[in-house]
Structure formats: structure tokens, C-alpha cells
Structure 1
Amino acid sequence: MLMIIMLISLIVSLGSCVTIPCSFDVESRFEKYLDHTCKAYWSDSPSFTSGNAKVKPTKDMTGDLTKKDCTTTFNNTRLLPGKKYYLRLECKNDLKYTFKQATVAPSPTLTPSTLEVKEGTSVSLTCSAPAPCWSHPPALTWIPNRGQSQETLQENQDKTKVKTSVMNFTASHLHHGNKISCTAVYQKNRGSPDVTAETSLTPDISYSPKNVTVSVSPSGPVPENSNVSLTCSSNANPAVRNYTWYRADGDQEALIGTGQSFIVTVSKVKSTFFCKATNALGCERSRNLQIDFQCIRIKTSQFQSVPLVQYQRTAM
């Protein structure tokens, strides 16, 4: 008689549907005992028999044991999360056999697991989640949905079933640093709450400077011949490595300085300024800026002349 008991580790949720992919092999001298009388049993104790097994799968729940397929599907499973379970194979002959089973976990997988691309690159993200039951595959949701997605349901060589969703989009600077997640929702029976699992990544999108703007301090009209500070700012990845300042006069542009901030003197001759931001991927310029000046006038008091009064003496 051959009898081996091995520990099976499961990650399941009470009331959910779970498939335990399983296959086994036996020595050639035992293969003749693999017949229609063989059955698989499950329990949370290593010492059990077919009579006191906690779970007795029916024929439609178990794979073809005569072909060494012991895959078992539990609908509305009574397996408790965190418990250790054992499998026993019994045939109505001298064959008793056990097998080792891989861990089952309903967590989706993102491929690739990280995303580092340049703006404008075509991106394809794949989200895969175990589908224990064909009749109740998980619902996959992208948050946010960046583009068109396509779903498939397939069976692997090891009898495991997988639900897959592929989302295609073009990388934009608007995606940089904003989390993308894939959520798998497993429906449960008898009104129990659904089981939700999520996997996410944060895209690192490299792009040339965007939204280049110039700010002035102090703002508003300023006295003639006073100094104002101009500051250039932008969004870029990698960061801006160089800021340059220009004075525009019609179609002519003159380089007047470098640095993120620049000080200019305001005069009554109207001048137009702009800046350029440059990083490793490109350059972008701001809109033209014209500084308003305030002309100060000194008011003087006006004096009104008093006419002279002539007196005429009369004879006495």
C-alpha cells in the first residue's frame, strides 16, 4: 500500500469559488490501480480518512484522476482562509496517493510591473488575475482607463484559468506620477461581500518642458527706472537644466541673461521679455511679457498775481 500525506497551502475566501490546479505521478507499477473508483478528499487535519474528510468533491468537481489530473474546483467553498488543508487520494484498491499543490491567490498581476517611457511612446499594460471558475471569472477594471482595453479568458497548461485585460494608450506628460491600478472583483455566493484585489503602478514619463510661464515681482505698474524681478517656471521631466532670457523688439530677439530669475530696470521705452526652458529632451518658450510702468508727475502750486492799486491824491 502506498499512502503519502502532504501539506497544501491555500489562500481563499469563504463563500468564493476556487480552483486548485493539480496533477500527480505514480510509479509505473501503481498505474494499473488508477481507475474510476479513485476519489480525492480534503481536510484541515493530516489524519483523516474518506469517511471523516471535511470536503468530499463530487465527480464534476474533480479532474480525471485516471489521467493523473486531480484539479479540484470548489463552488461556494467551505475552505476557511488561513487554514492548512491536506489532500488524500483513495482508490478501492491498494493505491493511496497524495500531491503537492501550488498556492492559489486572487491577486492581479501587472505587466510590466514598472513603467518608465518617453512621452509619445505607445504603451501596452496587461492585467492578469486568476479565474478559479469559468462561470464566475473576476471583473477587471482599470482606474483610470487611459485607453481602449481588451479582455480574454484562457486556460494554462497547469489547468489554471486566467482572466486578462490589455490596455493600450500613448504616454503623455499628463500621466506622469499619476497611479494606474487594475482591480479584480470576485463575486461570492449567498449574499456575501465581493472579494476585491488591486495592483497598481506609478508611471514615470519623461517629457520636454511644458507650461513655461513668466511671473513679475512686484506685479502691476511700477515706477520708471525701478527694478523688477522676472521668474521663469515650467513642468519638465527630467528637470529643466537651463533658463535663458530674451528681449524682443519686433522680429528681433536679443539674449540678455540666464538663470531662473532675472532683474530688469523699467523704463518708459516699452520692452517685451520672454524666457526659454531647456532640458535633455527639448526646449519651450514662454509667451511675451510687457511690463507696465507708472509715470510720476510733480504738481506745482500756482500763484495768482495781485494787480497794483494806484491811489490819486486830491487837492485840499
Structure 2
Amino acid sequence: MDAVRSTLTELVQSEGEAFYGDAARVESKLGERAGDHPDEVAVLVTAVRAGVVDELANTKPGLLEIAVGHLAGRMARMYGVDPGAAHWAVESWAQALTAELPPDSTVPVTIDGEYGREASPERKGGPAIPWPWVATIGAGLVGLLALVVLVRMVVGLVHSGGGGETKRAAAPATTTSAVTTIPPRTGDLTVPPGLNLGTGDVQVTLLWADGNDLDLHVIDPSGAEIYFSHSTSPTGGTLDHDDTAGCTSTGTHVENVFWPTGKAPPGRYRVFVENYSSCGAPSRYTVRATAKSQVATSSSGTVGAHEGDQTPVSQFSFS
């Protein structure tokens, strides 16, 4: 709610890091001044304990939209916070830290049904949908989907018993199991048509095709590390495409780091991939690096299923 956000902003501006860097102090101060909103206070404190505030404080304004998605997803998965509440908390801290909020965010603010009574700031002028209605509609859609899957399974079984002339339909249950337990093949992964990536002296591209949120990390010869919250280096390197994926997402996901022609420093470059936010299964991936349009290194592998798991570091040289 606006009153809680205003209180949070006042405390950040008056006390600075002494306030937002201490979860216990955040809980105490917000409890004193916004104690009539215990759910909001609780989720804001959880955000501090989840490391949200530290990362937001170090995030450049142009990457805020990416960071909000990353951090809200991490709160939901690791701390069991309602996704809408997590998104509201991250945005509230971002506002309090004077970061620019994503202009097109449309996630309704709902915590235990209370926030559904008031439209979030980015949706003023239109009624917010109460969380119970959202849950009811979602349950109905899930039931409808289950019915469709059941019908398709029955049709598949009927076809399979008709003399063998009709190919048996793939059972959706089998497909679902494969997605959740076996990472998809990446041998044929390519950059999706229409996606323009930066190129130049050095280019490093990561491809994967499941819902895990993987992050590409590139360390240049000076030791500067480029990844989602540090998208540029003093040497001219840029992360020009970041993909947050998501457990329900499909298709090929891409991250890309490049140095323009004439800008890449000579020396050794190091590359690794991190599982930033996991859907519970390992990911197969492909990383390809070029130097002056020639392949410098290309490899495929698997990164672990746990958040924070990393691949071995690969290296190449540019001169």
C-alpha cells in the first residue's frame, strides 16, 4: 500500500544503509510506524533477508526491470512468498532506494487478499482483481487443462488400438515428466530469428532451452566481470541481451556479451554459467565465443539443478 511505501522511503532517506542494511532494524522501525500492516512489513523484512536490498542498491537503473524479475522470483522460490507479494516488496524497495520502476509492470499487489482492495500505483484508474478471484480463475483453468489432457490421452489410446495404422499420440504425462527431470538437448539450439545481438572483436553467447534462469558471466583481461547486475565493463564490454526465462517458459533463451570492433582489450577472457534461479532440474546449455568473427571456443554441458551452481570456467585469448 502507498502508506507503507511512503514510510519505507522516509526511513531509507533519513537513516540510509544503517536502516536497510539491517533486517532486525527494518522489522523494528516498520513495526513502530506501520504496525497496522503486519503482512506488508513481514514481506519487506523477508526481502532484506533474501538479499534483495543489497542487490538493488548495486543495480544500475537501466537493469532494474531485469533485477525486479530475478529478485521477486528468488523470493518466491526460496522463501515461499506469494509471487505478487514478492513483486510488490521488490518494487517498494526499489522506489525507496530511488531506483526507477519498470514502466510496464502490471502485477497486481496481493498479500493474503488484502492488497486486492486497492489498485497498485502502476495501475491507478482501473480496479484491481482481488486475489481470491485470481485463485478461483486459476483453479478453473487448471481443471480445464487437466480435462483436455485426459481427452487427448484417451484419444491416443483409441488410435493405438486401431490396427496400428494410426500413430499413437504422445502421452502428455510422459512429456511433462521429461521436461521436469531431463534437461532438453541443446545440440541444435540457435539464436531465435529476429533477435539482434551485439557483435564485434569479441562476442560470447549463451543458449539454453528450459525454465531455469541461467546467467552468463564473462571476465575480461582486466578482471572486470560482466553479468546481469554489472552489464558493462570499463574496457567497453556490454551485456546487451539478458533472459530471465521462467519455469513455464518455452523456446530458446539467449544471453550475449560483446566488445565492439576495435574496443576489446587483448589478453585472456574467462567464461562461466551460473544457475541463478532454478526450477528443480539441471540445464543443458551451449556457450560460443568468437574473436574477430572466428570461433575461439564452443562448448555444451550441464549446469546443476541448485541455485548458485556454476559450470567450470572456460578460457580463450584475444590479440
Pairwise same-fold verdict (TM > 0.5): no
* Largest Rg, 1 or 2: 1
TM range (shorter): under 0.3
* Higher share in strand: 1
